[in-house]
Amino acid sequence: MTNIYSSDEPGPGAQGLADAPTGARGGRLGAKDVVFFVVAAAAPLGFAVGSTPLAIGRGGIGTAGMFLVVGAFLAIFAVGYTAMTRFVPNAGALFSYIAAGLGRPLGLGTAFVAVLAYAIAATGAIGPFAVFASQAMASMTGVQTSWEPWAFGALAAMGILGVLNVELNIRVLGIIMLVEVAVLLVLSTGIVAAGGAEGLSLQPFRPDTIAGGEIGVVLLVVFAAFAGFEATALFREDVRDPVATVRKATFASIGLIALFQAIVTWAIVQGFGSTAVAVANEKPTEMFTMAASQYVGAGFAEVITLLVVGSWFASILAFHNATARYLYALGRDRAINPVFARKSKASGSAWVASLSHTAFSAIVLLFCARQGLDPYLDLFVVGSVPVAVSIPAMELLTALSILAFFWRDSRGVSLWEGKVAPAISVISLAVVVFYVLSNIPMFTGREGAINWILPSINLVVLAVGISRALWMRRNRPAEYQLIGHWGEKQRPD
């Protein structure tokens, strides 16, 4: 294989890995399988019920149209991303591309930020899980319970399943996704069939409505719906035709998420009419079940409540496993303490990495419980700010790296793939990051230093990662050369 990382910074002239033989040729997965995994991991029901009301309440009904706008942005981004995938065929995803295009130090720094994002996402998801589990208990039995027992129960289950190396495979996730999609389509159909609260309107899709709300807040939430679409590249070694399958799966995942969430969001707005924003602000966790009771039936509302609990737990487990996996990979390549690379002989799990994240989550939950913080508005909403900022920021750095990578050597890709689409992505994502940062106070509902402290956590972690890479370059050059190759099957543990 040609090594595109053969010097300190990636240089021109090297032919890529597009034609290199890999184990991918022997894979059995098709584009449909990969799409199922990506869309299911995005937890369509959990996101719609738990996050969409935030965007509607704080940003306006133009949220529905914004899903289509962001989908278009990311489709352009995916042009360069899938072209780059042919030349960086390993499991590092975004930060491997950054290492290839902008250098290993920034690549490792971004990897640190990504791990933080996964860790916070898993911990934060425990908040809505606990809220919806408590609501489900009250709905089915009439017994009122606090959020703490559910939260710590989820924490224990997460930790145990993580150590046992239990993951939801593509088949299980596919079934879950189909059920979630079916439920949301039934609800949307019920609302449309009834004509909504005040008649059906396409106003949420009008450009002036989309641009007239709090754009930064809506972008902050909407981008989260697409988080993980880049995981299509991680299946390169498991699919029948790596280049074609990854390309098809990436565009299909973006398109399906954009269209589906746009339709569901439009339908829920129609269900409440002119009161949609008020309801989303006053009862965000009950908005969808209220609509289900009114337009389909009380029994269906209970079904949604139960399925949402399962959807959020699947999200918790997926992000926890992702956190442990990347901590293991970084530890194995000595980018962090190698203790994180220790595996259980019984289960094969990265048990140190898994328990470390479980301990982190336990500390956060104990702090929230002792301070009397709200599991949804504080733990999930406010706590997710670093993640919501890092997602478009990492995509911006990736777009820059793709542009830099092909600027030095086009490697045979078209002008559109290698330069024009990445350049458009850089400009678009820079605007997105600006709007997101400008509207954080509106999203958190807080004033003061917390609105700059939370996003700044990403910068601190980025600086730590860059410093670590520079230290490795001076003191451990051989290990430094591995940065950007995390997860490659060609390299033995």
The pLDDT of residue 208 is above 50: yes
Q: What is the pTM of this model?
A: 0.86
Residue among 254, 342, 289 at smallest CA distance from 78: 254
The percent of residues in the chain predicted with pLDDT above 90, rounded, is 58
Q: Does the pLDDT at position 107 exceed 70? A: yes
- For residue 264, the model assigns a pLDDT of 97
Task: Give 154-207 pLDDT, tens digit per residue.
Answer: 999 999 988 887 776 667 767 878 888 999 999 999 999 999 999 999 999 999
Q: For residue 160, what are the contacts with CB-CB under 8 A and spacing of at least 6?
A: none
Candidates 194, 412, 322; CA nearest to 330 is 322
Report the alpha-carbon angle 350-332-360, nearest 5. Answer: 50
Does the CA dihedral 388-389-394-399 come out positive or negative? positive
Task: Give one word for 174, left, alpha or beta, with left for phi > 0 and alpha for psi -120 to 50.
Answer: alpha
Token digits of residue 41 = 């991991």
Q: How many whole angstroms separate alpha carbon 87 and alpha carbon 198? A: 53
Query: Which residue reads 């289900």 in tokens?
Result: 292
Residue 493 pLDDT greater than 60, yes or no: no
Facing residues of 29 across strands?
239
Amino acid at position 208, single letter: D
pLDDT in tens, 66-78: 999 999 999 999 9
In the predicted structure, residue 1 carries a pLDDT above the cut 50 = no
Residue 87: band (very low, low, confident or very high) from pLDDT cuts 50, 70, 90: confident
What is the SS3 string spanning the chain? CCCCCCCCCCCCCCCCCCCCCCHHHHCCECHHHHHHHHHHHCCHHHHHHHCHHHHHHHHCCCHHHHHHHHHHHHHHHHHHHHHHHCCCCCCCCHHHHHHHHHCHHHHHHHHHHHHHHHHHHHHHHHHHHHHHHHHHHHHHHCCCCCHHHHHHHHHHHHHHHHHCCCCCCHHHHHHHHHHHHHHHHHHHHHHHHCCCCCCCCCHHHCHHHHHHCCHHHHHHHHHHHCCCHHHHHHHHHHECCHHHHHHHHHHHHHHHHHHHHHHHHHHHHHHHHHHHHHHHHHCHHHHHHHHHHHHCCHHHHHHHHHHHHHHHHHHHHHHHHHHHHHHHHHHHCCCCCHHHHCCCCCCCCCHHHHHHHHHHHHHHHHHHHHHCCCHHHHHHHHHHHHHHHHHHHHHHHHHHHHHHHHHHCCCCCCHHHHHHHHHHHHHHHHHHHHHHHHCHHHHHCCCCCHHHHHHHHHHHHHHHHHHHHHHHHHHCHHHHCCCCCCCCCCCCC
Output 233 or 56, whichever has higher pLDDT.
Answer: 56
Q: Identify the pLDDT of residue 283.
A: 92
Has residue 115 got a pLDDT over 60? yes
What gap in Å lies between CA 491 and CA 487, rounded to an integer?
8
**Identity at 454, one-letter amino acid code:** L
> 288-346: per-residue pLDDT in tens?
999 999 999 989 999 998 999 988 988 888 889 889 988 988 898 889 999 998 988 88
